[in-house]
Amino acid sequence: MKIREKLLLVLIVVIGFFFRTYNLNWDANFHLHPDERFLTMVGNAMTLPDNFMQYLDSKNSTFNPANIGFEFFVYGLFPIILNKILALMLNNDNYNAFTLQGRFFSALADTIVILLIYKSVKLLEDKYKLNSNVKYLASFSYATFVLPIQLSHFFITDTFLNLFLFSSFFFALSYFIKRSSANLIISAIFFGLSISTKISAIYLLPLILSLLITPAGSLKKSLLRFVGNVFLFGIISFFISKLAYPYMYYSSNIFDPRLNPDFLKNINTLKILSQKTSIYPPNIQWINKIPIIFPLKNLILFGIGIPAFILFVAGLVNTAKIRAGIIFSLFAFWIVIFFIYQGTQTVMTLRYFLIIYPFIAIFVGIGLDQLTRKINKIAFYLLLIAMFISPLMFLSIYTKPHTRTSATNWILENIPYGATLLTEHWDDSLPLTGYQNYKVIQLPVFDQDTDGKWKKMTDSLSQGDYYILSSNRAWGSISRAPEKYPRIAKFYKDLFYGKLEYKKIKEFTSYPSLSYLGIPITFPDDFAEENFTVFDHPKVMIFKKTIINSFLQEQ
């Protein structure tokens, strides 16, 4: 590799790493991501097992969440175990440091994906004579995608899953091209870690296994070799998952493949909570969302950006002109099938699609490379700048205090101590500090619209002095489901139209913007998926009781 090429790759990685690590303590140690908060609580509660056999023993291990007060645990455990061991080694085993360390390794994991994209395209370039620019353009594209940048700021399992899965893919691709058994073994190891990180890793398994097909003369020999490869891959993956997440299995016997009934029970419970008929509060946001269209809109606008999506489509179209058309068709087929499957599930959250982003980046790189042959250099650089706009705008939310922090400061300065503050359950109550100086009442907004609920609501609303909406977690979901929540949906409508006794006096927002760079462009993203805004830049609204309204009496 020439010096110029090395510097270019380093620059791309540095850009990606900067975007992913800028202000990792974006919530000032207030732990405002609920999943992350839960994983930190589990990690802090863990204690080092006495020996390796105790570690493997589901019933007695002090690493098993079920044994330390967290019986309902549906996340993969390996990233938490890894972060725990490193926290013990680095003296970071406390509530704040454990999270910040986890965020750093989340960002590091996603940065490594940038390198793996480069290496994957380099493999294809060497075999199929791709243009040498594609590997740089593909890795650059992923470095600038907004969703991976955001998820890298969270200590959750998605970025680790993406790293392990794409690593498994990379080494399977290496086996496909180089026919080295070592690559097959390493691919299986990473897949075992993937399963230990999140069970949804199985969605990539068909693509990975398809790369284990090796011609061996006759059809019979080829089939036998493929079966042998799959068997070896499966055995290694099983043993690695058994070591990385032993509590997923029934016994500590390393050869026992039976799954733990408690693990299966928790997964089944999660499936029930995620059904369309479920009234589990986090599930309400998915009611009346249009399959395929909703996740596609969010992918385009908030996941990768409009310019990247256009290039992605161009890349898909142009793969027919590439010698590796068949292999790229396989990638494209898997992307489409997975997107259709996940996009028709009840839960269509953006982060569930993260595992296709590296492949999208490869097609963006192809599309961008094909386009460079038709436009001049100035137009090419303008296009690269356009791809920078989305991540630069998104980065703005980490350049200023969190909206809940700003709201907390305003409350402490402007609302007299002793006032009664109304907040909503299933959301973070404000103020984040100094709440002991106020009387705080949580409204049961997600309860079904029964007379009993509305008695509690009216009693609380009559006592309140201020009504604080910490995010759109409740009103954003409930307002779109009036058939399930007719009374509270009408309540929110009247609240926002100023028809109630509570009037809005203050609002805090932190939209993606270029204003911090001196460019007066801001992009309000209130219509984005809830999980994209509610953790790191929610809209906070504060209402003050003014006059009595007949609405409450009517309820």
pTM of the model: 0.94
Note the pLDDT tens digit of each residue in 400-458: 999 999 999 999 999 999 999 999 999 999 999 999 999 999 999 999 999 999 999 99
553, pLDDT greater than 60: no
Q: Please give the pLDDT value at position 555.
A: 44
- The pLDDT-based confidence of 550 (bands split at 50, 70, 90) is very low
Q: Which of 307-316, 323-332, 343-352, 494-503 bottoms out in mean pLDDT, i.e. has the lowest? A: 323-332
- Residue-wise pLDDT tens digits, 290-304: 999 999 999 999 999
Q: Whole-angstrom Cα distance, residue 206 to residue 330?
A: 10
Residue type, 427: D
Query: Taking the CB of residue 14, how many other CB atoms lie within 10 A of it?
Result: 12
Mean pLDDT of 95-119: 98
The pLDDT score that the predictor gives to residue 324 is 67
Range with the poorest average pLDDT among 134-143, 216-225, 306-315: 216-225
The residue that leads in pLDDT, 547 or 341, is 341
In whole angstroms, give the CA distance from residue 395 to residue 461: 38
Question: Percentage of the chain with pLDDT > 70?
Answer: 97
DSSP string, 238-267: HHHHHHH-GGGBSSS-TT--PBPHHHHHHH
**In the predicted structure, residue 548 carries a pLDDT above the cut 60:** no
As a whole number, mean pLDDT of residues 41-70 equals: 95
pLDDT tens digit sequence for 363-409: 999 999 988 888 888 888 888 899 999 999 999 999 999 999 999 99
Q: Is pLDDT at 551 greater than 90 in this prediction? A: no
Region 135-153: mean pLDDT is: 97
8-state DSSP, 276? T
Q: What is the DSSP string of 433-471?
A: S-GGGSEEEEE-TTS-S-HHHHHHHHHHHHH-SEEEE-S
What pairs with residue 421 in β-bridges?
440, 466
Residue 215 confidence (pLDDT): 76
Look over the chain and give the mean of its residue pLDDT values, rounded to a whole number.
93
Exposure string over 37-71, b if 16+ CB within 10 A, otherwise e: bbbbbbbbebeebeeeebbbbbeebebbbbbbebe
Residue 374 confidence (pLDDT): 80
| Paired sense of beta strands 502-508 and 540-545, if any | antiparallel
**Domain ranges, ordered by start, for the chain:** 3-397, 403-554
Model confidence over 520-542: pLDDT tens digits?
999 999 999 999 999 999 999 99
Give residue 45's identity as a one-letter amino acid code. Answer: A
